[in-house]
Structure 1
Amino acid sequence: MSALARIPFDRAAQDPTGACLRDGERSLDNAAFADAVRRLAHRFAGLGVAPGDLVAVMLPNCAEIVTTQFAAWYGGSALTPINPVLTDDEARYQLEDSAAAVLVGDERARDLAASLGIAWVDAATVHAPAAASATDDGAAGPVAQPGDFALVIYTSGTTGRPKGVLLDHANLDAMSASLVEHFALSPADTSLLVLPLFHANGLIASVLSPLRAGGDVVVAPRFSPDTFWGLVETHRPTYFSAVPTIYAVLDARTAWTHDTSSLRFAVCGAAPMPAELITRFEERFGIPVVEGYGLSEGSVASTINPVDGVRKPGTVGIALPGQEVAVVSAAGDPLPPGQRGEVVIRGANVMRGYLGRPEETARTVRDGWLHTGDVGIVDEDGYLRIVDRIKDLIIRGGENIYPKEIEECLYGHPAVLEAAVVGRPDPVLGEVPVAYVATRPGRTASADELLAHCAASLARYKVPARVEVLAELPKNSVGKLVKGLLRELDLPHCGHG
């Protein structure tokens, strides 16, 4: 039996009145949470949901998503969370591709479920009281096994239609155990969830891991710099996980002092965080920021800087317990420290594959190694630095340019809040870098000023052919910059400088 599926019931048996899940004004103790999970699992069974089926949920961040996850596992089903801001066509694609048997959500979800002929559960009833007989199942309990699928997480689809990443209970068991060990999570920990629950990071790092360790979870609504520190002061979390954009916005928009003494650490992932921003945030707010790296295909995290050991800003840390992280050449040969190559990952956390896509699975997982498509360097101490995405490499007149190097240079300018560099076709040089920048509130910088800033630090061939200053840069649902949308902007010919 999957130990993860038993978490609500083991917690209820050990400490029925202990804190488990908070959401706004609502608070569920261990006994209430276990009871809600069991009731919802019985409802799924009554709708014909069977072991091996997919349970879909489409809601903004709320406790109902967590309850739905464990209720699916109770019956041996897997969960596929759907981003509620998707269009109907996009949501319908995920429901059809995953062959979901039931959809938990609001009235919009009801209409989507009806259009596909699948069952619907009103999210408003998930935590509603039920008759005692509905929860009386004698000795029955969760039936999920370690090899059963637990989550089907859909990738962002930046390279085509989104793909369903298949994670089983053994994957999540290995991942959550690794995070609990690395962060020394205990019943004294409280996680503040500000990332979306339709991604692996929120579900695994911010919910599953602290619940496994005996801690509790505060589910926050969508991130807002106006409410974030109030949540910290009210709920006294010991950690939170966020993306670089959130840290940049908090740094730029926080104008007064807040009580951050409850926070042991903060985690940053999803995209590289400028070393200068990490240092500034740590010094200003007194919170250690540990940057990490991982993919949904690796159950969310593979390297993280230590909380108490040496942290190296600009790196994404060392391999998590139970995982191997290496850098290989184009031919797949391991490279020594200091040499640049593709980052590969091996461990019990590596996905079972992509749903219904055996060819893509075979290309991505080879000989047990997950090929990430990221370019990295491992130093003598085992700390990984992500250089860039292989596909983002810009070749300008035969010279290789990694956009991240230019972006880091731009982040060194005091007016820059966000920066992204993409390649643009050029008739002479083949490709040239173009930079897009958003400035900090109350600060301005001209394109010429930013070009001069780059020219002072970078070789001439790395200096952008053009800088565009925008009000804000396009981001996806987790706040990660989307370079694909920048590439689609209609810019005049860049020239070849």
Structure 2
Amino acid sequence: MNLATLLRNQAATQPDRIALRAGEQTLTWAEWDARTDAAAHGLAALGLPATGGHAARVAIALPNTVEFAVALTAVLRAGLIAVPCNPGLTPRELRHVLADSGAQALLATPDLLAGVAGAVPHELSALPTAAAAGELPASADEQVAVLLYTSGTEGAPKGAMLPHRALLANHRQLGAVEPPLLGAADTVLLALPLFHAYGLNTGLGSVLWHGATGVLVPDFDPAGTAGAIAAHGVTVVVGVPQMFLAWSTLPDVRERLASVRLAVCGAAALEPAAATRFAQLTGITVQVGYGLTETAPVLAATVAAPSAKPGSIGRPLPGVELRLVNAAGEDVWRGGSALLDDDDDDDPDLAVPDSPGTDPGELVVRGENLFLGYWPDGRGGPDADGWWPTRDVAYADGDGDLFLVDRLGELILVSGFNVYPAEVEQVLLAHPGVAQAAVLSAPHPLTGQQVRAIVVPAPRAELTEAELAAHCARNLARFKCPARIEFAPELPLSVIGKVRKSLLRE
């Protein structure tokens, strides 16, 4: 079973129902399945060789189009490995992904192909097609389905190997949440980039899993996307903070988003004040999800909690086990559960403890949705017992709701005291004159490190360093206050809105 099998099953049960919309273009389930078959046999006819014990890799560098969706399912049906790539990469960046993955073929626009000419044996501006000529190879659950390169916020992108098992497991885990989140009658906005785990599996994968309808949006703009939601009666929105912030600026946002019944925000933190404002403007409560590329991607969500709390990422999904581990390697909290009871499990009871809350600890997770490790040898993957450290720091309150603190590698030590950049950023963002903020460490001869803040002022705001310093002093302990506050016109962001702090450090 894989995403391409799901497509075949949907085509058999509802062949004439629209599966995908992209502008004026539509594709029924039967049409999607037929195009996938022709392209899968076309790819098989290329004779792409397996290398290093892995099936051949096919890179896909396309925007959110019908062609991307067909290419993905065709590669999987042909028993090959898909390598989704950001079509906005520079030729240098794309060459790195192609070389690192050992891709044998690249499907991209002619302009993009011209920029990396000669990088792969097969340069495709359109999918090859062929009539069926024998059976296509079956894919094992543990075979790599997609090789997804991380956004590179902390260095050169690495390829996370996600097997078919992980992609489908995440849908089973989400499907165990009550009441059900999605169904076949839903229409899902696919505005997140499909080359990212969030857009690919939580977005497009949910359409395949549930037999829903997907509305593909290649380029996000608030008015145009809100118009598409209204025109197609979109009921489910899967987004990132920038999308909800942008929609909040539209004067008629309540009317345009009237059909939406479920809105989920992930990939980066949505400030509680922004979520409240969006709810006031639209009547829609934004649910928050947390996950990583390596976990296919969702680990926790507010939909898994009895009630959403401002700033919380909710609780682990059914089937996700989670621990918070302190610097000494000791568990300070355990939560979640396996989706199915396993009598052989050494520690089956991971119930939320009765406590007033915990100190922060690193999130360490286990579940069927975890990746196999990083390309090509599986380094950095789950340990022998299936546990994988996320490098994200969080704490749990007395109800078992989780709150992210920061990335482990971004902790700042000022005279031995821990400073979490996210806490300082939240204080800065609470100032009405601040639109964006990023906090980094900077060396200091006496304290070892000091706090450095880079701030993007809100439009027409007249900010001074002294004003922000005073604001921080009122809301933070002295050792947490930025020693340096710098102003910038913008911050470098990844495609899903995370600040690329490695570029800021440079």
TM over 0.5: yes
Question: What are the Cα deviations for residues 71-114 of structure 1, in whole angstroms up to 9, with x where unaligned?
Answer: 01111111101111222122112112111121111213444675
> What residue in structure 2 maps to residue 441 of structure 1?
459
Whole-Å separation in 2 of the counterparts to 1:300 and 1:179: 11
Q: Contact 1:50–1:75 at 8 Å: present in 2 too?
A: no
Tell me, yes or no, if structure 1 residue 276 matches structure 2 residue 289. no
> What residue in structure 2 maps to residue 154 of structure 1?
149
> What residue in structure 2 maps to residue 179 of structure 1?
174
> What residue in structure 2 maps to residue 29 of structure 1?
28
| CA distance 1:53–1:195, change in 2 (3 Å) | same
Question: What are the Cα deviations for residues 32-67 of structure 1, in whole angstroms up to 9, with x where unaligned?
Answer: 111111111111011113672111101122121111
Tell me, yes or no, if structure 1 residue 64 matches structure 2 residue 64. no
Whole-Å separation in 2 of the counterparts to 1:241 and 1:10: 24
Aligned length: 476
> What residue in structure 1 maps to residue 250 of structure 2?
254
> What residue in structure 1 maps to residue 399 of structure 2?
381
| CA distance 1:335–1:308, change in 2 (3 Å) | closer
Tell me, yes or no, if structure 1 residue 55 matches structure 2 residue 55. no
Whole-Å separation in 2 of the counterparts to 1:308 and 1:159: 31
> What residue in structure 1 maps to residue 371 of structure 2?
351
2:125 to 89, 105, 122: 122
1:233 to 224, 230, 233: 230
Q: Secondary structure of 1:217's match? A: strand
Tell me, yes or no, if structure 1 residue 74 matches structure 2 residue 64. no
2:105 to 102, 105, 121: 102
Q: Secondary structure of 2:475's match? A: coil
Q: Contact 1:193–1:220 at 8 Å: present in 2 too?
A: yes
Whole-Å separation in 2 of the counterparts to 1:215 and 1:146: 24
Tell me, yes or no, if structure 1 residue 473 matches structure 2 residue 491. yes
> What residue in structure 1 maps to residue 10 of structure 2?
11
Which blocks of at least 5 consecutive residues in structure 2 are unaligned? Answer: 334-356
| CA distance 1:118–1:224, change in 2 (3 Å) | same
Q: Secondary structure of 1:227's match? A: helix
Q: Secondary structure of 1:302's match? A: strand
Tell me, yes or no, if structure 1 residue 339 matches structure 2 residue 348. no
> What residue in structure 1 maps to residue 298 of structure 2?
301
Counterpart code for 1:15? Q
Question: What are the Cα deviations for residues 414-435 of structure 1, in whole angstroms up to 9, with x where unaligned?
Answer: 2322221111112222211122
Counterpart code for 2:224? T
Cα offset for 1:455?
1.4
Cα offset for 1:456?
1.3
Q: Contact 1:394–1:423 at 8 Å: present in 2 too?
A: yes
Cα offset for 1:436?
1.8
Whole-Å separation in 1 of the counterparts to 2:199 and 2:365: 21
> What residue in structure 1 maps to residue 444 of structure 2?
426
1:163 to 158, 163, 167: 158
Cα offset for 1:319?
0.5
| CA distance 1:172–1:10, change in 2 (3 Å) | same
> What residue in structure 1 maps to residue 343 of structure 2?
none
Q: Secondary structure of 2:303's match? A: coil
Q: Contact 2:3–2:208 at 8 Å: present in 1 too?
A: no
Q: Contact 2:450–2:483 at 8 Å: present in 1 too?
A: yes
Runs in 1 of length 4+ with deviation above 6 angstroms? none
Question: What are the Cα deviations for residues 314-370 of structure 1, in whole angstroms up to 9, with x where unaligned?
Answer: 111110121112101234321134221110110001111111244433xx6463111
Q: Secondary structure of 2:26's match? A: strand
| CA distance 1:281–1:330, change in 2 (3 Å) | same
Question: What are the Cα deviations for residues 454-474 of structure 1, in whole angstroms up to 9, with x where unaligned?
Answer: 111111221111222322221
Cα offset for 1:308?
8.6
Counterpart code for 1:74? R
Whole-Å separation in 2 of the counterparts to 1:296 and 1:191: 21
Q: Contact 1:365–1:371 at 8 Å: present in 2 too?
A: no
Q: Contact 1:102–1:113 at 8 Å: present in 2 too?
A: no
Matches for 1:394-405 after TM superposition, within 5 Å: 394-405=412-423
Kindly report the root-mean-square deviation, in angstroms, between the aligned alpha carbons of the 2 structures: 2.1
Whole-Å separation in 2 of the counterparts to 1:381 and 1:70: 41
Question: What are the Cα deviations for residues 380-422 of structure 1, in whole angstroms up to 9, with x where unaligned?
Answer: 3221111111111111122211111111112222232222111
Q: Secondary structure of 2:106's match? A: strand
Counterpart code for 2:494? N
Whole-Å separation in 2 of the counterparts to 1:229 and 1:441: 23
Which blocks of at least 5 consecutive residues in structure 1 are unaligned? Answer: 489-497
Q: Contact 1:179–1:205 at 8 Å: present in 2 too?
A: no
Q: TM-score, normalised by structure 1?
A: 0.90
Q: Contact 1:421–1:435 at 8 Å: present in 2 too?
A: yes
Question: What are the Cα deviations for residues 5-44 of structure 1, in whole angstroms up to 9, with x where unaligned?
Answer: 2122211111111010111221101111111111111110
Cα offset for 1:245?
2.8
> What residue in structure 2 maps to residue 92 of structure 1?
95
Q: TM-score, normalised by structure 2?
A: 0.89
